[in-house]
Structure 1
Protein backbone atom coordinates (compact mmCIF):
# COMPACT_ATOMS: atom_id res chain seq x y z
CA UNK A 1 0.00 0.00 0.00
CA UNK A 2 1.44 3.40 -0.98
CA UNK A 3 2.03 6.07 1.66
CA UNK A 4 -0.59 8.33 0.08
CA UNK A 5 -3.17 5.53 -0.02
CA UNK A 6 -2.43 4.63 3.59
CA UNK A 7 -2.83 8.27 4.59
CA UNK A 8 -6.18 8.55 2.79
CA UNK A 9 -7.38 5.33 4.40
CA UNK A 10 -6.58 6.68 7.84
CA UNK A 11 -8.25 10.00 7.17
CA UNK A 12 -11.33 8.33 5.72
CA UNK A 13 -11.57 6.31 8.95
CA UNK A 14 -11.44 9.57 10.90
CA UNK A 15 -14.21 10.99 8.72
CA UNK A 16 -16.40 7.97 9.41
CA UNK A 17 -15.67 7.99 13.14
CA UNK A 18 -16.15 11.75 13.39
CA UNK A 19 -19.42 11.62 11.48
CA UNK A 20 -20.72 8.88 13.75
CA UNK A 21 -19.65 10.92 16.77
CA UNK A 22 -21.25 14.15 15.54
CA UNK A 23 -24.52 12.41 14.66
CA UNK A 24 -24.61 10.66 18.04
CA UNK A 25 -23.94 13.86 20.00
CA UNK A 26 -26.45 15.81 17.91
CA UNK A 27 -29.09 13.20 18.77
CA UNK A 28 -28.63 14.07 22.44
CA UNK A 29 -29.64 17.70 21.93
CA UNK A 30 -33.31 18.58 22.18
CA UNK A 31 -33.14 22.39 22.01
CA UNK A 32 -31.45 23.43 18.77
CA UNK A 33 -31.65 27.07 19.87
CA UNK A 34 -29.22 26.37 22.73
CA UNK A 35 -25.76 27.96 22.44
CA UNK A 36 -22.61 26.11 21.41
CA UNK A 37 -18.90 26.69 22.05
CA UNK A 38 -18.84 28.93 18.96
CA UNK A 39 -19.83 32.56 19.74
CA UNK A 40 -23.18 33.49 18.22
CA UNK A 41 -23.92 29.99 16.95
CA UNK A 42 -26.71 27.79 18.24
CA UNK A 43 -26.85 24.03 17.84
CA UNK A 44 -28.99 24.71 14.77
CA UNK A 45 -26.26 26.87 13.25
CA UNK A 46 -23.64 24.21 13.92
CA UNK A 47 -25.76 21.39 12.47
CA UNK A 48 -26.52 23.48 9.38
CA UNK A 49 -22.84 24.29 8.98
CA UNK A 50 -21.78 20.64 9.15
CA UNK A 51 -24.43 19.73 6.58
CA UNK A 52 -23.52 22.51 4.16
CA UNK A 53 -19.81 21.81 4.65
CA UNK A 54 -20.40 18.29 3.34
CA UNK A 55 -22.22 19.70 0.32
CA UNK A 56 -19.40 22.21 -0.27
CA UNK A 57 -16.77 19.47 -0.11
CA UNK A 58 -18.84 17.39 -2.53
CA UNK A 59 -18.43 20.26 -4.99
CA UNK A 60 -14.65 19.99 -4.61
CA UNK A 61 -14.85 16.23 -5.18
CA UNK A 62 -16.87 16.87 -8.32
CA UNK A 63 -14.22 19.35 -9.47
CA UNK A 64 -11.48 16.78 -8.92
CA UNK A 65 -13.41 14.07 -10.73
CA UNK A 66 -14.56 16.11 -13.73
CA UNK A 67 -11.97 18.83 -14.10
CA UNK A 68 -14.78 21.39 -14.17
CA UNK A 69 -14.23 24.11 -11.56
CA UNK A 70 -16.76 23.96 -8.74
CA UNK A 71 -15.95 26.16 -5.74
CA UNK A 72 -17.06 25.32 -2.23
CA UNK A 73 -19.09 28.52 -1.99
CA UNK A 74 -19.96 31.25 -4.46
CA UNK A 75 -19.07 33.79 -1.76
CA UNK A 76 -18.66 34.24 1.98
CA UNK A 77 -22.15 35.72 1.99
CA UNK A 78 -23.60 32.56 0.45
CA UNK A 79 -21.98 30.45 3.16
CA UNK A 80 -23.30 32.69 5.95
CA UNK A 81 -26.81 32.82 4.47
CA UNK A 82 -26.97 29.03 4.11
CA UNK A 83 -26.00 28.53 7.72
CA UNK A 84 -28.40 31.18 9.01
CA UNK A 85 -31.38 29.92 7.04
CA UNK A 86 -30.49 26.29 7.72
CA UNK A 87 -30.32 26.93 11.47
CA UNK A 88 -34.05 27.65 11.48
CA UNK A 89 -35.03 24.25 10.11
CA UNK A 90 -36.70 21.71 12.38
CA UNK A 91 -34.29 19.62 14.48
CA UNK A 92 -35.34 16.32 12.91
CA UNK A 93 -34.88 17.78 9.43
CA UNK A 94 -31.40 19.02 10.32
CA UNK A 95 -30.44 15.66 11.78
CA UNK A 96 -31.56 13.96 8.55
CA UNK A 97 -29.70 16.49 6.39
CA UNK A 98 -26.45 16.00 8.32
CA UNK A 99 -26.66 12.22 7.89
CA UNK A 100 -27.68 12.38 4.22
CA UNK A 101 -25.01 14.84 3.11
CA UNK A 102 -22.34 12.90 5.02
CA UNK A 103 -23.36 9.71 3.25
CA UNK A 104 -23.32 11.52 -0.09
CA UNK A 105 -19.81 12.83 0.51
CA UNK A 106 -18.58 9.36 1.48
CA UNK A 107 -20.03 7.89 -1.72
CA UNK A 108 -18.46 10.63 -3.84
CA UNK A 109 -15.06 10.03 -2.26
CA UNK A 110 -15.42 6.29 -2.85
CA UNK A 111 -15.90 6.98 -6.56
CA UNK A 112 -12.69 9.00 -7.06
CA UNK A 113 -9.98 7.31 -9.11
CA UNK A 114 -6.25 7.66 -8.45
CA UNK A 115 -5.74 10.48 -10.93
CA UNK A 116 -8.58 12.51 -9.40
CA UNK A 117 -7.03 12.29 -5.93
CA UNK A 118 -4.08 14.31 -7.25
CA UNK A 119 -6.24 16.96 -8.95
CA UNK A 120 -5.85 20.49 -7.58
CA UNK A 121 -8.89 22.19 -6.05
CA UNK A 122 -9.29 25.40 -4.06
CA UNK A 123 -10.54 25.64 -0.49
CA UNK A 124 -12.95 28.24 0.85
CA UNK A 125 -9.89 30.12 2.18
CA UNK A 126 -8.39 30.27 -1.31
CA UNK A 127 -5.67 27.63 -0.81
CA UNK A 128 -4.85 25.30 -3.68
CA UNK A 129 -4.69 21.69 -2.44
CA UNK A 130 -4.74 18.20 -3.97
CA UNK A 131 -8.08 16.43 -3.62
CA UNK A 132 -6.45 13.83 -1.36
CA UNK A 133 -6.60 16.46 1.41
CA UNK A 134 -10.41 16.67 1.28
CA UNK A 135 -10.95 13.81 3.78
CA UNK A 136 -8.79 15.63 6.32
CA UNK A 137 -10.80 18.82 5.86
CA UNK A 138 -13.95 16.86 6.66
CA UNK A 139 -12.45 14.85 9.52
CA UNK A 140 -11.50 17.94 11.48
CA UNK A 141 -14.92 19.50 10.87
CA UNK A 142 -16.93 16.61 12.27
CA UNK A 143 -14.51 15.76 15.09
CA UNK A 144 -14.04 19.28 16.45
CA UNK A 145 -17.64 20.37 15.95
CA UNK A 146 -18.87 17.28 17.80
CA UNK A 147 -17.13 18.80 20.83
CA UNK A 148 -18.51 22.27 20.05
CA UNK A 149 -22.07 20.95 20.48
CA UNK A 150 -21.48 21.15 24.23
CA UNK A 151 -22.83 17.73 25.20
CA UNK A 152 -19.85 16.90 27.40
CA UNK A 153 -17.55 15.44 24.76
CA UNK A 154 -13.90 16.56 25.08
CA UNK A 155 -10.73 16.28 23.03
CA UNK A 156 -9.74 13.35 25.25
CA UNK A 157 -12.62 11.42 23.64
CA UNK A 158 -11.11 11.76 20.15
CA UNK A 159 -8.67 9.25 18.61
CA UNK A 160 -5.12 10.04 19.79
CA UNK A 161 -3.67 9.81 16.28
CA UNK A 162 -6.28 12.30 15.10
CA UNK A 163 -5.51 14.82 17.85
CA UNK A 164 -1.80 14.55 17.03
CA UNK A 165 -2.47 15.40 13.40
CA UNK A 166 -4.86 18.15 14.48
CA UNK A 167 -2.13 19.75 16.59
CA UNK A 168 0.22 19.77 13.60
CA UNK A 169 -2.48 21.32 11.41
CA UNK A 170 -3.36 24.00 13.96
CA UNK A 171 0.27 24.98 14.53
CA UNK A 172 0.90 25.24 10.78
CA UNK A 173 -2.07 27.52 10.31
CA UNK A 174 -1.13 29.62 13.34
CA UNK A 175 2.37 29.99 11.90
CA UNK A 176 0.99 31.14 8.54
CA UNK A 177 -1.07 33.74 10.42
CA UNK A 178 2.04 35.09 12.16
CA UNK A 179 1.22 33.52 15.53
CA UNK A 180 4.00 30.93 15.39
CA UNK A 181 6.68 32.56 17.59
CA UNK A 182 4.39 33.20 20.55
CA UNK A 183 2.86 29.74 20.25
CA UNK A 184 6.28 28.09 19.95
CA UNK A 185 7.52 29.86 23.10
CA UNK A 186 4.49 28.66 25.04
CA UNK A 187 4.54 25.09 23.76
CA UNK A 188 8.29 24.86 24.38
CA UNK A 189 7.74 25.83 28.02
CA UNK A 190 9.65 29.09 27.71
CA UNK A 191 6.71 31.12 28.95
CA UNK A 192 3.77 30.31 31.18
CA UNK A 193 1.56 32.85 29.45
CA UNK A 194 -0.60 31.33 26.72
CA UNK A 195 -0.70 33.53 23.60
CA UNK A 196 -3.92 35.28 22.61
CA UNK A 197 -5.04 33.42 19.48
CA UNK A 198 -7.47 34.32 16.76
CA UNK A 199 -10.14 31.96 15.38
CA UNK A 200 -9.06 28.74 13.75
CA UNK A 201 -11.99 26.56 12.55
Structure 2
Protein backbone atom coordinates (compact mmCIF):
# COMPACT_ATOMS: atom_id res chain seq x y z
CA UNK A 1 0.00 0.00 0.00
CA UNK A 2 1.18 3.53 -0.74
CA UNK A 3 0.04 6.80 0.77
CA UNK A 4 -2.33 7.27 -2.19
CA UNK A 5 -4.20 4.15 -1.12
CA UNK A 6 -4.57 5.25 2.51
CA UNK A 7 -8.09 6.56 2.67
CA UNK A 8 -9.66 9.10 4.98
CA UNK A 9 -11.99 6.40 6.29
CA UNK A 10 -8.97 4.19 7.03
CA UNK A 11 -7.33 6.93 9.07
CA UNK A 12 -10.49 7.62 11.05
CA UNK A 13 -10.81 3.92 11.88
CA UNK A 14 -7.13 3.56 12.83
CA UNK A 15 -7.32 6.60 15.09
CA UNK A 16 -10.24 4.98 16.92
CA UNK A 17 -8.38 1.66 17.17
CA UNK A 18 -5.24 3.30 18.54
CA UNK A 19 -7.23 5.32 21.04
CA UNK A 20 -8.91 2.17 22.32
CA UNK A 21 -5.52 0.49 22.68
CA UNK A 22 -4.03 3.39 24.64
CA UNK A 23 -7.02 3.63 26.96
CA UNK A 24 -6.95 -0.13 27.55
CA UNK A 25 -3.19 -0.04 28.20
CA UNK A 26 -3.59 2.35 31.15
CA UNK A 27 -6.94 1.15 32.46
CA UNK A 28 -5.49 -0.98 35.25
CA UNK A 29 -2.22 0.83 35.98
CA UNK A 30 -1.69 1.91 39.58
CA UNK A 31 0.62 4.72 40.70
CA UNK A 32 3.70 2.50 40.51
CA UNK A 33 2.68 1.30 37.06
CA UNK A 34 2.32 4.85 35.79
CA UNK A 35 5.64 5.84 37.32
CA UNK A 36 7.48 2.97 35.58
CA UNK A 37 9.65 3.60 32.54
CA UNK A 38 7.99 3.66 29.14
CA UNK A 39 9.66 2.40 25.99
CA UNK A 40 10.94 5.91 25.25
CA UNK A 41 14.30 6.84 26.82
CA UNK A 42 13.94 9.25 29.71
CA UNK A 43 10.14 9.08 29.78
CA UNK A 44 8.00 7.34 32.35
CA UNK A 45 4.52 6.19 31.42
CA UNK A 46 3.25 9.37 33.06
CA UNK A 47 5.28 11.48 30.62
CA UNK A 48 4.03 9.43 27.68
CA UNK A 49 0.36 9.50 28.68
CA UNK A 50 0.58 13.26 29.22
CA UNK A 51 2.11 13.59 25.75
CA UNK A 52 -0.70 11.58 24.12
CA UNK A 53 -3.36 13.57 25.99
CA UNK A 54 -1.74 16.89 25.11
CA UNK A 55 -1.48 15.78 21.49
CA UNK A 56 -5.26 15.30 21.37
CA UNK A 57 -5.74 18.80 22.78
CA UNK A 58 -3.27 20.21 20.25
CA UNK A 59 -4.95 18.49 17.31
CA UNK A 60 -8.19 19.88 18.67
CA UNK A 61 -6.75 23.34 18.05
CA UNK A 62 -6.32 22.42 14.38
CA UNK A 63 -9.87 21.08 14.27
CA UNK A 64 -11.09 24.47 15.51
CA UNK A 65 -8.93 26.16 12.86
CA UNK A 66 -10.56 24.02 10.15
CA UNK A 67 -14.02 24.63 11.56
CA UNK A 68 -13.80 28.39 12.07
CA UNK A 69 -11.04 29.60 9.74
CA UNK A 70 -9.41 31.30 12.72
CA UNK A 71 -5.69 30.44 12.86
CA UNK A 72 -5.16 28.26 15.95
CA UNK A 73 -1.70 26.61 16.11
CA UNK A 74 -1.27 23.19 17.69
CA UNK A 75 1.00 24.71 20.33
CA UNK A 76 1.58 28.36 21.14
CA UNK A 77 5.29 27.57 21.47
CA UNK A 78 7.77 24.73 21.87
CA UNK A 79 7.74 25.51 25.59
CA UNK A 80 4.00 24.87 25.74
CA UNK A 81 4.46 21.45 24.15
CA UNK A 82 7.22 20.58 26.61
CA UNK A 83 5.18 21.78 29.58
CA UNK A 84 2.33 19.44 28.67
CA UNK A 85 4.68 16.46 28.79
CA UNK A 86 6.36 17.67 31.98
CA UNK A 87 2.96 17.97 33.64
CA UNK A 88 2.52 14.20 33.62
CA UNK A 89 4.59 13.25 36.69
CA UNK A 90 2.71 15.81 38.80
CA UNK A 91 -0.64 14.12 38.17
CA UNK A 92 -2.08 11.05 39.84
CA UNK A 93 -2.95 7.92 37.93
CA UNK A 94 -6.64 8.79 38.01
CA UNK A 95 -6.00 12.35 36.86
CA UNK A 96 -3.93 11.13 33.93
CA UNK A 97 -6.52 8.57 32.93
CA UNK A 98 -9.22 11.23 33.07
CA UNK A 99 -7.18 13.69 30.97
CA UNK A 100 -6.34 11.00 28.42
CA UNK A 101 -9.96 9.90 28.06
CA UNK A 102 -11.45 13.40 28.06
CA UNK A 103 -9.00 14.78 25.51
CA UNK A 104 -9.57 11.79 23.22
CA UNK A 105 -13.33 12.23 23.52
CA UNK A 106 -13.13 15.96 22.72
CA UNK A 107 -11.01 15.28 19.65
CA UNK A 108 -13.37 12.56 18.41
CA UNK A 109 -16.32 14.93 18.86
CA UNK A 110 -14.43 17.61 16.96
CA UNK A 111 -13.75 15.22 14.09
CA UNK A 112 -17.41 14.19 13.99
CA UNK A 113 -18.57 17.81 13.84
CA UNK A 114 -16.51 18.87 10.81
CA UNK A 115 -18.41 19.19 7.56
CA UNK A 116 -17.14 17.86 4.24
CA UNK A 117 -16.06 21.39 3.28
CA UNK A 118 -14.32 22.03 6.60
CA UNK A 119 -12.31 18.84 6.25
CA UNK A 120 -10.75 20.38 3.13
CA UNK A 121 -9.59 23.54 4.92
CA UNK A 122 -5.83 23.86 5.29
CA UNK A 123 -4.08 23.99 8.65
CA UNK A 124 -0.42 24.08 9.69
CA UNK A 125 1.14 21.32 11.79
CA UNK A 126 3.62 21.81 14.61
CA UNK A 127 6.36 20.91 12.10
CA UNK A 128 5.24 23.74 9.81
CA UNK A 129 3.61 21.58 7.15
CA UNK A 130 0.46 22.95 5.50
CA UNK A 131 -2.04 20.11 5.13
CA UNK A 132 -5.78 19.70 4.64
CA UNK A 133 -7.68 18.85 7.81
CA UNK A 134 -8.26 15.38 6.34
CA UNK A 135 -4.69 14.59 7.45
CA UNK A 136 -5.52 15.08 11.14
CA UNK A 137 -6.97 11.58 11.76
CA UNK A 138 -3.83 10.03 10.25
CA UNK A 139 -1.66 12.20 12.49
CA UNK A 140 -3.64 11.02 15.50
CA UNK A 141 -3.58 7.39 14.38
CA UNK A 142 0.23 7.41 14.26
CA UNK A 143 0.45 8.89 17.75
CA UNK A 144 -1.94 6.55 19.50
CA UNK A 145 -1.02 3.35 17.68
CA UNK A 146 2.74 3.67 18.11
CA UNK A 147 2.60 5.06 21.64
CA UNK A 148 0.24 2.28 22.72
CA UNK A 149 3.24 0.03 22.14
CA UNK A 150 5.66 2.42 23.84
CA UNK A 151 3.59 2.18 27.04
CA UNK A 152 5.03 -1.32 27.44
CA UNK A 153 1.91 -3.00 28.80
CA UNK A 154 1.75 -5.77 26.20
CA UNK A 155 0.54 -4.13 23.00
CA UNK A 156 2.80 -4.96 20.04
CA UNK A 157 3.06 -3.89 16.42
CA UNK A 158 1.51 -7.24 15.50
CA UNK A 159 -1.68 -6.07 17.24
CA UNK A 160 -2.12 -3.14 14.83
CA UNK A 161 -4.12 -3.38 11.58
CA UNK A 162 -2.10 -4.53 8.57
CA UNK A 163 -3.32 -1.57 6.53
CA UNK A 164 -2.05 0.85 9.15
CA UNK A 165 1.32 -0.88 9.29
CA UNK A 166 1.66 -0.77 5.52
CA UNK A 167 0.75 2.92 5.33
CA UNK A 168 3.12 3.74 8.17
CA UNK A 169 5.95 1.75 6.58
CA UNK A 170 5.45 3.60 3.29
CA UNK A 171 5.49 7.00 4.97
CA UNK A 172 8.54 6.40 7.16
CA UNK A 173 10.49 4.76 4.33
CA UNK A 174 9.90 7.83 2.18
CA UNK A 175 10.69 10.32 4.95
CA UNK A 176 13.87 8.49 5.88
CA UNK A 177 14.84 8.33 2.19
CA UNK A 178 15.25 4.55 2.20
CA UNK A 179 15.43 2.78 -1.15
CA UNK A 180 14.30 -0.56 0.22
CA UNK A 181 13.23 -2.44 3.32
CA UNK A 182 14.71 -5.54 4.97
CA UNK A 183 12.97 -8.87 4.62
CA UNK A 184 10.82 -9.93 7.53
CA UNK A 185 7.33 -9.83 9.00
CA UNK A 186 5.61 -6.49 8.47
CA UNK A 187 5.24 -5.74 12.21
CA UNK A 188 8.97 -6.25 12.74
CA UNK A 189 9.84 -4.10 9.72
CA UNK A 190 7.67 -1.28 11.09
CA UNK A 191 9.25 -1.66 14.52
CA UNK A 192 12.66 -1.27 12.86
CA UNK A 193 11.51 1.72 10.81
CA UNK A 194 10.26 3.50 13.93
CA UNK A 195 13.47 2.85 15.82
CA UNK A 196 11.79 0.43 18.24
CA UNK A 197 13.06 -3.01 19.33
CA UNK A 198 12.67 -5.65 16.61
CA UNK A 199 13.76 -9.16 15.70
CA UNK A 200 15.22 -8.46 12.25
CA UNK A 201 18.72 -9.84 11.77
CA UNK A 202 21.41 -7.62 10.27
CA UNK A 203 19.10 -4.60 9.84
CA UNK A 204 21.08 -1.37 10.27
CA UNK A 205 20.26 0.77 13.28
CA UNK A 206 17.87 3.69 12.78
CA UNK A 207 17.33 6.65 15.00
CA UNK A 208 14.02 7.10 16.84
CA UNK A 209 10.93 8.26 14.97
CA UNK A 210 7.83 9.93 16.51
Is the TM-score greater than 0.5? yes
Aligned to 1:23: 23
Aligned to 2:182: 187
Residues 46-57 of structure 1: matches in 2 within 5 Å?
A: 46-57=48-59
**Aligned-pair CA distance for 1:93:** 0.8
Partner Cα distance (1:37, 1:20) in 2: 19
- 1:47-67 deviations in whole A, cap 9, x for unaligned? 100100000000001111111
Whether the 8 Å contact between 1:47 and 1:87 is mirrored in structure 2 is no
**Aligned-pair CA distance for 1:195:** 3.0
Whether the 8 Å contact between 1:15 and 1:135 is mirrored in structure 2 is yes
1:86 aligns with 2:88: yes
Partner Cα distance (2:133, 2:121) in 1: 6
- 1:16-48 deviations in whole A, cap 9, x for unaligned? 111111100111322211001101100000110
Whether the 8 Å contact between 1:62 and 1:70 is mirrored in structure 2 is yes
Whether the 8 Å contact between 1:29 and 1:151 is mirrored in structure 2 is no
**Aligned-pair CA distance for 1:114:** 1.3
Partner Cα distance (1:97, 1:124) in 2: 21
Aligned to 2:209: 200
- 1:73-92 deviations in whole A, cap 9, x for unaligned? 11112111111023320011
RMSD of aligned C-alpha atoms? 1.9
Residues 66-77 of structure 1: matches in 2 within 5 Å?
A: 66-77=68-79
- Runs of at least 5 residues in structure 2 that lack an aligned partner in the other structure: 185-200
Partner Cα distance (2:118, 2:87) in 1: 33
**Aligned-pair CA distance for 1:196:** 3.1
Partner Cα distance (2:145, 2:54) in 1: 16
Whether the 8 Å contact between 1:47 and 1:94 is mirrored in structure 2 is yes
**Aligned-pair CA distance for 1:138:** 0.4
- Runs of at least 5 residues in structure 1 that lack an aligned partner in the other structure: none
Three-state SS of the structure 2 residue aligned to 1:36 is coil
**Aligned-pair CA distance for 1:160:** 1.1
Aligned to 1:41: 43
